[in-house]
Amino acid sequence: MHAFTYINGQLHCENVALQGLADAHGTPLYVYSGNTILDHYHRLDRALGGLDHAIAYAVKANSNLSVLRLLAQAGAWFDIVSGGELFRVIKAGGNPAHCTFAGVGKTRDEIIYALQNNIYCFNVESAAELAYLNEVAAELGVFAPAAVRVNPNVDAKTHKYISTGKSENKFGIDFEAIEALYDQAAREWPHVRMRGLQMHIGSQLTSIAPFVEAVRKVKPLAQLLKERHQIEFWSIGGGIGIVYHDSLASGQASWWANHDPDSKPLSIDEYGAAVVPLLEDLGLKILMEPGRYIVGNAGVLLTRCLYEKKGNAKTFKIVDAGMNDLIRPALYEGHHEIATLQENNSTPVKADVVGPICESGDFFCQDRVMPDFKPGDVIALLSAGAYGFVMASNYNTRPLPAEILVDGSEAVVARKRQTLDDLIAGEI
Ligand code: LLP
């Protein structure tokens, strides 16, 4: 579900009108629906039902403290990829003992910080990293819990920049080498304790088949490692895709639906029905690491139209958000629906929606047929809750946008807009 709907002709997040938020807090502005985030978390939790499981939210998708706090209170675990993310989880009241630490390049300082905070497990991506983890843990006189990320060589059939489970990707260790590595760890690295096994084949998967293929392929290995090395968990990663080509409950729905007739949701219940039976008899704790599924459709980016320019070839609608605020279209050819804040039944127009950044790649859509809007109007870029704000930068010396978290009829500023002074803080 998502909570962005027209009520009396005005686009709302839950019970809060987005126009009011844009007017009060300015644009560009990220707005998140807290109840959508919780709904997605609980849906996935239910889908994994009978399994001994934990949902380790992938913090990288949206690391705002208020979002993390919501999830921590709901009982979520966290999958982190840096010392900075661990710091955020702790500040938000999350439990470090429920954190897994992923990533191919953990530094010494990050390893020490995570060891001192007794995280649940380091998800290790190379033999060299496992040896180094052993060395640092020995220096500190502690034992480091570890899992190895297996690269199952399964095609996730997603954008090439977010596919991770093929042999040519930098992630994980080849399937065939895993057994020997666990044996080596037991022999040579007494300060690591092999606690689990991890995999993650890619992000924004829109079909269940690659998940099933990977689970089937790796299951015998998980079984073997449980018997031989007493591992206690298997993390099957994140990657559940969301619908970007969405439709709101409005007269505009047909336009959006027509835009991409192939776009269909990956049903979380079908996902559970396909995957859970394969895992039930293993006797391992199952972890999942969803990011986008939890927060993606729970957020929008509001931006105001500044100018319209009609050239010989195209019409450009120039808005006050840029690729520095939401980079997904530029980096992954990502699609974000555009919704006007007032329900709009005028004749749709074809245009490019572009930002103010000095780059040709600074666009939110090209040649898209959409409801018309004019300078002064605010529009919403939908499905921007994941990999939106977290990937924003100060490029072109633009302050980072503010973030708002909505709960029912209440909206709080979860992060203030940066000021000009914030932009130069730390420089001499
Ligand atoms: N676990 C690991 C080890 C990961 O590398 C990732 C994402 C996740 C979990 C969470 O994946 P999710 O459930 O969100 O698909 N910036 C890109 C996505 C990059 C994903 C990186 N890894 C985008 O905007 O599409």
Per the structure, the count of domains in the chain is 2
Q: pLDDT of 181-221, one tens digit each?
A: 999 999 999 999 999 999 999 999 989 999 999 999 999 99
**Over pLDDT 90: what percentage of the chain?**
86
Looking at residue 151, what is its pLDDT? Answer: 92
279 is in which domain, residue-wise?
A: 35-295
Based on the fold, state whether residues 247 and 377 are members of the same structural domain.
no
Least confident of 2-11, 57-66, 371-380: 2-11
Nearest by Cα to 123 from 81, 166, 95, 71 = 81
Looking at residue 262, what is its pLDDT? Answer: 43
Last residue of a domain, one of 243, 266, 295: 295
**Does residue 98 lie within any of the structural domains?**
yes
Span from the CA of 346 to the centroid of ligand 1 (angstroms): 38
pLDDT at 253 over 90: no
Based on the fold, state whether residues 126 and 215 are members of the same structural domain.
yes
Looking at residue 261, what is its pLDDT? Answer: 38
- Evaluate: CB of 133 within 6 angstroms of ligand 1: no
The CA distance from 137 to 191, in Å, is 6
pLDDT at 298 over 80: yes
Based on the fold, state whether residues 327 and 180 are members of the same structural domain.
no
Q: Residue 279 maps to which CATH number? A: 3.20.20.10
Give the phi and the psi of residue 197 in degrees, each rounded to 5.
Answer: -135, 145
**Does residue 136 lie within any of the structural domains?**
yes
Looking at residue 245, what is its pLDDT? Answer: 82
**Does residue 11 lie within any of the structural domains?**
no
Based on the fold, state whether residues 335 and 213 are members of the same structural domain.
no
Tell which one of 203, 206, 268, 333 to mutate to probe ligand 1, the residue whose CB is within 8 A of the most ligand atoms: 203
- Evaluate: CB of 238 within 6 angstroms of ligand 1: yes
Last residue of a domain, one of 256, 280, 295: 295
Least confident of 41-55, 149-163, 281-295: 149-163
Based on the fold, state whether residues 111 and 137 are members of the same structural domain.
yes
Based on the fold, state whether residues 289 and 316 are members of the same structural domain.
no
**Does residue 338 lie within any of the structural domains?**
yes
Question: What atom in ligand 1 is closest to the CA of residue 289?
Answer: 9
Q: Residue 314 maps to which CATH number? A: 2.40.37.10
Provide the pLDDT confidence category of residue 36 given band limits of 50, 70 and 90. Answer: very high
**Does residue 22 lie within any of the structural domains?**
no
Span from the CA of 199 to the centroid of ligand 1 (angstroms): 12
Looking at residue 168, what is its pLDDT? Answer: 74
Higher pLDDT, 52 or 267: 52
Span from the CA of 54 to the centroid of ligand 1 (angstroms): 17
**Does residue 303 lie within any of the structural domains?**
yes
Based on the fold, state whether residues 251 and 143 are members of the same structural domain.
yes
pLDDT at 365 over 60: yes
pLDDT at 263 over 60: no
Residue type, 170: K
Looking at residue 265, what is its pLDDT? Answer: 66
Based on the fold, state whether residues 193 and 315 are members of the same structural domain.
no
Based on the fold, state whether residues 325 and 268 are members of the same structural domain.
no
Cite the active site residues. Answer: 358
Which protein residue has the closest C-alpha to ligand 1 atom 7? Answer: 203
The CA distance from 341 to 206, in Å, is 28
pLDDT at 107 over 80: yes
User: Across residues 285-301, what is the average pLDDT?
Assistant: 97
ω into residue 401 within 30 of 0, thus cis? no
The CA distance from 27 to 23, in Å, is 8
Based on the fold, state whether residues 82 and 101 are members of the same structural domain.
yes
Which protein residue has the closest C-alpha to ligand 1 atom 19? Answer: 162
Looking at residue 155, what is its pLDDT? Answer: 83
Span from the CA of 62 to the centroid of ligand 1 (angstroms): 11
Question: What atom in ligand 1 is closest to the CA of residue 241?
Answer: 15
Q: pLDDT of 128-178, one tens digit each?
A: 999 999 999 999 999 999 999 999 988 877 777 777 766 777 888 999 999
pLDDT at 395 over 60: yes
Average pLDDT, the chain: 93
Looking at residue 247, what is its pLDDT? Answer: 43
Question: What atom in ligand 1 is closest to the CA of residue 296?
Answer: 14
Based on the fold, state whether residues 157 and 61 are members of the same structural domain.
yes
Torsion sign over Cα 192, 196, 202, 203: negative
Give the distance, in angstroms, between the CA of residue 402 and the centroid of all CA atoms in the same chain: 19
pLDDT at 250 over 50: no
**Does residue 4 lie within any of the structural domains?**
no
Last residue of a domain, one of 245, 261, 295: 295
Which protein residue has the closest C-alpha to ligand 1 atom 6? Answer: 238
Contact 79, 100 (CB under 8 A): yes
Span from the CA of 55 to the centroid of ligand 1 (angstroms): 14
Provide the pLDDT confidence category of residue 255 given band limits of 50, 70 and 90. Answer: very low
Cβ-based neighbour number of residue 121 at 10 Å:
26
Looking at residue 194, what is its pLDDT? Answer: 98
pLDDT at 314 over 90: yes
**Does residue 325 lie within any of the structural domains?**
yes
- Evaluate: CB of 293 within 6 angstroms of ligand 1: yes
Based on the fold, state whether residues 282 and 314 are members of the same structural domain.
no
